[in-house]
Each structure stands twice: as structure tokens, then as C-alpha cells.
Amino acid sequence: MTCRVFTFSFAAIGAMAQFATGAENVALPRPVAPVSNPAAGGGAASERDALVAKYYKITEVKGPQGVDPQVGALCPMPDGRMAVAFHRGQVAFYNPSKKEWSIFAEGLHEPLGLLNEPDGSLLVMQRPELTRLRDSIGSGKADTYETVWDGFGMTGNYHEFAFGPVRNAQGKLFVALNLASSGDTVFPEVRGQWLPVGLERKEFYGDWKKNSKLAGRMYSRVPWRGWVMEVDPATGKAKPFASGFRSPDGLGFDAEGNLLVSDNQGDWRGSSELHVVQRGGFYGHPASLPWREDWGKQPPLEVPVEKLNKIRTPAAVWFPHMSYANSPTQMVRIPRSRAWGPYGGQVVIGEMNVPKLLRVTTERINGVWQGACYPFIEAPALKAGLHRLAFLGDGLWVGRTHLTWPGGENLGVVEPVGKAPLEALEINLTKTGFKVHFTQPLSASCNQKDLWVVRRYTYAYHVEYGSPELEEEWLKPTDVILTEDGNCAELIFSELRENFVYDFFLDKLYTEKGLTPLNVRAAYTLRKKF
Amino acid sequence: MASPSVIFCGLSLILGGSISSLLAQAPAVVSPGTSKPEATSSASNEAVAVPKKAPKKARVITLQMAEGLRFDPPRLEAQPGESLQLEIQNTDVSHQPHNFVLVKPGMVQEVVKAAMEMGETGPNKGFIPEHQAVLASSGKVVDPEGKVQLKFVTPEEAGIYGYVCSVPGHGMVMYGALYVGVQMPSLAQDKNIPQLTLEKGLVGGGRRPFVQRIFMPEAGPAPIAVALPGTLNYCFDAVSCRIRYAWSGPFLDGTRHWRGSGRDMAELGDAAWWSAATPLIRFGSGKSDMNPEAQFLGYALKEGLPEFHFKVGKQEVFQLVRAAGNVLEVRFRLPQVKAKVLVVQDLSVVLKCPDAVERKGQMEVPANKAKEFSVFLERKDAPPNKDTSAPVSKNFHTHTP
């Protein structure tokens, strides 16, 4: 879900359609290749659809009749149905073989997460609480709505979304709580203890146009806003897990079970981010800090950036703003199946503003998480607003929403129909550069250095909304070594810089048969060198 | 925000008579003060006749680009060959730019697709594609809080002409329909406008009983609204674990809350006739002002009625509200009652608890009755108990224009 007070620019909109075109920034020394192949010999959206259709079938599923078709949550059920939560509070099951909907629950408040439990109940994260839905008499409808955890604060601010839950191998749940937005004030009555740090509460009921600037663009004035929490579903007890989040719409795990959380470009977020989240970590947005036990009375906005920089863990992966993602959403693991071939075990993530899914990979170098993002399935037929993702067998389901932001409605199902296209599968850091693995062998002549271009830039960590690309440079490798099988290219660079994005342009590559990549860019966030 | 259907209630239609011109050839004007006055795209169509000039007096219609990616009103009605002057205003509080593109019947999504294909030329052209189906447009995007005036003559050919915002990401949901010489179906039956617009109005669509969690006035951030069979509704607060108020008549209008991103509260179908200052029952000696913390545990649906489950201090409470005509019956179950149970004395309503006895000026439920008892509430000026069908109050949205 895009989660920001909208500062919309045409540049941002222009980027939405940039898969179809060449240059995205005329000021650059050379035209920037598109993130994905504009389709062989053309740029039209329908051509892109036709190209992507060679690899993926995309079908539409409409929501149940009479239900606002904005999807808040998806959950694949063991019996082959898909559970779907909708904006206005319904949870419904879809039976794909019968193509039938049945309403299971109603009346929930902005449900944004669903998780089936081993006992047959269904957990749902709604705005005010984590709830367990049970059908105790087998009627097909939930008859008990049991509160599992509501021990977090609510001010009534519209931006206080609640995300999750996801469950780790030990059965613990993780949920994430959005900050409030200065786009609005708070209700007269709040839930939870009001934080006596920062702008005085009475000012929240004064001239908000004026006072909102003093509250912080995004603020946390009731417990655990901006935190990831760990919840024990058996006892309903919750513990703070990690802080520093802004609008953490997506939670998931990598193949090793590490918790992943996505966050949206905005204040303290130069570009959208993926974090590998560990207990006790602080992930950069300071509004949540005063809820730490060791925090004094210092308003978070008064903490010098240098101090924050010392205690924060930067994002493992930046999603370069506009060119890769404007508003990343949920991530899920791709099944290790024949259909999904080389991508099995990798993580796929959705995006709100453009019809695009991305992949992400992470690795740990000298104790620091970092990795890359790759445009994956990008086609107008997918439609925008790709808020929720879930695999049901080999079908990748996408549920769309918009609220008051750009997006879409209803659901789509993406299925691979053949061999994986040519593209970068994974990028790994080496001591002297990068290894880029491909889904198909490159032609032996792709070892020419001129075919490889990388743009390097970084983003600022600051209170301002977003960041331009800073210290941008065009790089060429000093050497390219192709493996004998053509599946991996090692690029050598004369120097490597930490905390920079290495944005790879792969549009000039080809296979022996002349096939060019379906997606022609990939961005590695280098945090730590070997 | 006004109900979309209200806006064109008062407009009288100008009958076009025999004067006609195809819309595509009518001058589409962008008002002075905007960046580039733009002529209508000269869409070529072999069926095109010689354009006629628009009559001087055009009917003025205000069309808002509103929060939640929608046009307000979502549909317009005109005669063939009628001269219209659209005052297009971007009032979207989420501050997004929008455009307006009027298209040939059935061509909304084609034009949206064409706008997507504009690539980096899109922003400069306001995301308005050069497409033969485009009949008129705002010529550029209308910035937040901006306005554009568009004059045109409706097509001679009767039909349902779509209008859409073709800014990428908007067109899937932000569209409407101009009915030219065609009878409009009822709003609920209209397939030419987005479903979101169709669903405005009553939460639960009039079904009773119905439970909905949503932001509500005067109720904290975690209220639960309940529509009871008949005409009564109440608001339960899941923070303080008590009834906050009750009202009669239509249930709730959730449109404003749901259309936005959750900024606005739902609106009650009628003013509350009872607002409770305290919980209906309390435990203990009655001397203490101690207000033990309440903990909400959820609810079970019993024939659709929620039985709320919560703890007040250590005391577990189940509470189910039923309606008998105009009387609210609040049924309490206290399985493990240990403390003294006192019923509040609320003089703003007719409050009865047949199981309670008066002791030292307090209403106390004796221990042998406290496991299960009811409190009955009725408005003081209650009309005689008669028909139970819901009256529609004046301030409530209705479905027909």
C-alpha cells in the first residue's frame, strides 16, 4: 500500500509507463535503458503484454458480487481455496475449480492480513486488533471473532494501518504498525498511553495546518507505532521486536526464515526499502524511538542525524524510486517447482503504482545484509495496485487495492507457461566486483566489456521526503569473465563503494540464438565490501 | 462531500430539438488562465458531419475530481446536441493531479490503455492520448485545487458516453458516464459507473442484524456498530468495553470512511437518543471511584447478534443486546461473579432492571441473580411501539437521485 501524504510529480507518473520507452532522464550523459525490455521492436503496452504472455499467463478473478473489490489480504488455504479480505471488512473464500465465492466473515475494520492456523481458525489483522475467526459449528461462516491481541495504541489517524501477521518456524507471529501521518490529526479519544515527548497533545487539537509541521511528517504518539511486534498466538502476549519503520506494508521471510519487511519512500526513506529484520534492530525512521526502554525524554526529531546513523541498520535493499518501485508491498517466496524453475526459493514483491512485480535476493557480507532487486513480471495486463501476493500451487495470486492512491481492484493470477526468460537471476558481491547469474546461458561474445554498463548512485538519509539520486556515476567493468557454460558473468571494477546502488543495464546481452533479456535491469545495494 | 446523486437534481435539461452536432467537432475549450488553450482533438471519423457552433447559453454543470479516485457526480444526463459547460474542479484532498477525457461509447478502457502507452510523452500531454475515441478533454492534467472549464455540444447520436481520468493508475476506477438521450437506470443498477459509487449508502445494505467495525463519532478509535433487528442500533466501544450510545432508524453510512483512506468517520443514520456516560454496571462496594481496566476479548455471533466478551478488572463479562420494539435489552452473563454488582442510574433514559433491588440508594443485583440478568433501556420520549420498519431520516443518503 502506498503510504504517504501525496507529493505527486509528473516525473513520478512518467516513470509508470517507462517500461515502454527509452530515456527516463534527459539530463543523463546517455539515455538510460528501460528497466525492462520494451518488447522486441516496439514500445506499446499491448506489445509488452504479448511479450510477457510468452512466459506468463495472466488471468483475472473478480471479487464477490456486492463487495468493494479492494483486496487487503490473501491467504492460501490447505483445501485449495484462497481466503481474501476486502477493504470494507469482508473475508471470503474463492474456490478456483468452481469459480465460486463464499463470504466467511463481515464487519471487520480495514483487514490487511490473513493467516490460517493449524486448528482451522483464521487470523486476521484489522485496524484495531489481531482477531481469530472461528467457524465453531461448521456453518461455513465465522461465528466467533476472538481478540488475540489489541495491546497497541490507536489515535484514530487514518495512516495507522496494521500489517501482518506472518508466522515463523517457531510459531511466533510478527505484525507491523504504521506510523500516523501529519496529513491529519488524532481523535479526541485515543487507545493506549499518550507519549509525553514532542508536540504537546493539546496542539493536536489546535490549528492543524500550522501544528502538523511540528508533529513530524509521520509520528508515533501511542505505543508501538513504527514497530514490528512479536505476538504469541497462544497467550496473546506481545513483545516489541524491532523499531524504525514508517509504512511497513509487507512482511515475509526469506528461504532461511529471516524476517523481511518492506517500507515506503518518504521522510527518512530516500527510496523504498527492504529490511532484513532482527530482534532489537532500529531501521531508520526515528519517530518510533521513544518507545524504546532505554529512551529518555528527547523528541526524536531533535536527535542529530549522525547519532541516528550510528544506531540504525540501513536497508538491505533499496528499490530505486520510480525506476524500480514507487511503493513496494508484500513479499512471498516463490515455490521450488518445475513451473517456476530457477526462481524457486527467491522472494517476489508487489508494487502499487505500476503493473510490476519484482524479485529480491539478499546475502550477508561480513555480518551485513544486502542484496538486489530485479524487475520480474511487468505487463499492463497485470494492472497496478499489486498489494497482496500469495501462491496457490503454482499460481501467483495478486490482490489489488488503491484507497485514495493510484492502484487497482480485484485479483489476478499469474502462471508460468514455459521456460524462464533470459534475465539476471541473482547478483552476488565478490571481492572485486559482482557475479551476475543468468537464467539462460549468455553468448560467449557477451564477455565484451562494452556490453556492460552500471550506473552507481546513493540516497540521502534525512528528515526530508525521499531523496534525489546522489553522486551518480556511470561505470564500466575493467574486466568481464564469463563462465564456460555462459550462465554467470563476473564483473571486475577498479573500486567498490559501500552504501551505493549498482544499477546494472543488461539490455545489450543476448544468448547464442540472439534472445535478449525480458527484464533488462537489476539493482544491487552495496552496503559492505568483503 | 455531497451525495453525487444530489447535484443534478435541480438541473433542467435543455431540449436540443433538431440542433445537432457531433461532439468530436464541437469546440472544447480550456478556460483562460490555464497553461495552453487546447482545441479538441480533431478525431477523424467518416460519419462526421459539419460541426455546428454551440448555442451561446450552455448548461453549466460542476464536476468534481474527488477524493478516492472518483468523479462526483459519477454520471450526467443530457439531450443530444445539448450545449454543456463543464466546470471541472480538482477537489481531491489526497492532492493528486487528474484529467478529464470524454470518449465514445464503450471506449473508456481502450483510451486508458492508450494513455498507458504514451510513455514519457504522457506527462507533457496530460496523459490524454491521440485516439479516435477521444471526443473532448481537459487538454492537460488539472492540478490539486485547480479548475478547468470545458464547453461542448453533446453528440447527436444518443448513447452512453464514458468520461475518465486517464492518468496512469487512475483510469481503472475513476470514470463516469454521460447519458445522451438515453434513460438512466437506477443508480444501483448502473453498470456504466464504478462499483464503489454503486455501493454508497447503508452499511450492510440494510441487513439486520449486522455488525461493523468502523470509525464512528464520539466513540474512540475502536468502536463496533451493531444494527439490531427492527429499528435500533448501538455503538459498543472495544476500548472501554461498554455501550457508548444508541440510535434509531437507518444504521450507518460508511461511504466517507471507505472512500477515503480512513480519514473520515461513518455517519449515524440519526442522532443518538441515548449517550452513556459510564458503563451500565460496575463491580465492588460502590464507594470506590476505581475504574478497573477493561480488556476486550472479542464477540460471538448468536443468531447474528454479537455477544461481547470482556473483562473488567478480574471480572469476566458477556453482554448481548437485543431489541424488543423500542426497548433495548442488555443481557449480562457473569459466570464467576464474586463482587457486588451495581446498576447505573441514568436519568436520561427510562432504565429498568427487574432483578435489581434498591439498597442504600443504589441499584444492586443480588448475588443469586447476578449470573444472568438484563437491563432495559427506552428513550424517554419514545413513540408508541408500532411499525418496526426503518424510517429514512433526512440527512441520510438515499439511492435515487
For A53-69, how does the pLDDT look when each residue is reduced to its tens digit (9 = 90+)?
999 999 999 999 889 99
Residues B299, B252 share a domain: yes
| Residue A307 or residue B97, greater confidence | A307
Sheet with B327-333, side-by-side order of all strands: A113-116, A122-125, A130-134, A144-149, B294-302, B305-312, B315-324, B327-333, B372-379, B349-352
Q: Choose from A18, A19, A37, A109 for mutation: most chain B CBs within 10 A.
A: A109
Q: Answer yes or no: do B293 and B317 share one domain.
A: yes
My answer on whether B209 and B333 are in the same domain is yes
Average pLDDT over residues B93-107: 88
B111 vs A contacts (CB less than 8 Å)? none
- Please judge whether A20 and B92 are an interchain contact, meaning their C-beta atoms are less than 8 angstroms apart: no
From CA A18, how far away is CA A2, in angstroms rounded? 19
Q: Residue B387 — pLDDT band, cuts 50, 70, 90?
A: very low
Q: Which of A202, A192, A331 is nearest to A254 (CA)?
A: A331
Q: Please tell me the predicted confidence (pLDDT) of residue A301.
A: 92
Residue B394 forms part of a structural domain: no
User: Is residue B398 domain-resident?
Assistant: no
- Per-residue model confidence as pLDDT tens digits over A411-448: 999 999 989 999 999 999 999 999 999 999 999 999 99
How does strand B83-90 pair with strand B59-66? Answer: parallel
Residue A126 contacts B where some CB pair is shorter than 8 Å = yes
Q: Report the distance separating Cα A262 and Cα A247, nearest Å.
A: 8
Q: Does A415 touch chain B (CB under 8 A)?
A: no
Looking at B164, B198, B232, which one is the last position of a domain? B198
Is A44 in the B-facing interface, judged by CB distances under 8 Å?
Answer: yes
> Residue A375 and residue A520: Cα distance in Å, rounded?
8
Are B146 and B292 part of one and the same domain? no
Mutate to test the interface with A, among B131, B166, B173, B174 (most CBs of A within 10 A): B173
CB contact at 8 A, B155 and B136: no
Residues B248 and B175 grouped into a single domain = no
Q: Are A39 and A381 in contact (CB under 8 A)?
A: no
pLDDT tens figures, A454-507: 999 999 999 999 999 999 999 999 999 999 999 999 999 999 999 999 999 999
Determine contact: A48 vs chain B, CB below 8 A: no
- Closest by alpha carbon to A266, among A241, A253, A284? A284
Residue B399 lies in a domain: no
> Which of A74-88, A130-144, B272-286 comes out lowest in average pLDDT?
B272-286
| Within-domain flag for B127 | yes
pLDDT score, position B400: 32
* CA distance linking residue A324 with residue B274, whole number of Å: 54
Which residue among A6, A13, A23 places its CB closest to the CB of B95? Answer: A6
The ipTM value here is: 0.91
Q: Residue A17 and residue B118: Cβ atoms within 8 Å?
A: yes
**Is residue B393 assigned to a domain?**
no
The DSSP bridge pattern shows strands B134-137 and B101-103 to be antiparallel
Please give the Cα distance from B180 to B161 (Å, whole number).
7
Please answer yes or no on whether B222 and A191 come within 8 Å at the CB atom.
Answer: yes
Interchain pair B258, A87: CB under 8 A: yes
Cβ atoms of residues B27 and B137 within 8 Å: no
B169–A353 CB contact, under 8 Å: yes
Quick check: A110 and B260 CB within 8 A? Answer: no
d(CA A121, CA A75): 12
Measured CA to CA, the distance from residue A479 to residue A432 in angstroms comes to 10
One domain for residues B248 and B263: yes
Contact A123, A130 (CB under 8 A): yes
The residue among A191, A524, A250 whose CA lies nearest residue A373 is A524
Contact assignment for A106 to B212 by CB distance below 8 Å:
yes
Kindly tell me if the per-residue pLDDT of B2 is higher than 70. no
The residues that bridge with B243 in the sheet, in sequence order, are B236
Q: Are residues B158 and B19 in the same domain?
A: yes
Instruction: Evaluate whether residue B9 is within a structural domain.
Output: yes
Kindly state the average pLDDT of the residues A259-269: 97
Q: Residue B76's domain spans which residues?
A: 4-198
Domain annotation covers residue B385: no
C-alpha cell at B44: 477523424
Q: Are residues B83 and B61 in the same domain?
A: yes
Q: Are residues B18 and B149 in the same domain?
A: yes
Same domain, B162 and B25: yes
Contacts of residue A170, Cβ cutoff 8 Å, sequence gap at least 6: none
Percent of chain A with pLDDT over 70: 92
Which residue in A212, A407, A274, A252 sits closest to A334, CA to CA? A252
B103 & B170 share domain: yes
Same domain, B134 and B245: no
> Which of B198, B228, B254 finishes a domain?
B198
CATH number, domain at B36?
A: 2.60.40.420
Number of inter-chain CB pairs under 8 A, A vs B: 181
Domains of chain B: total? 2
> Which pLDDT value is given to residue A344?
97
CB spacing of B116 vs A14 below 8 angstroms: no
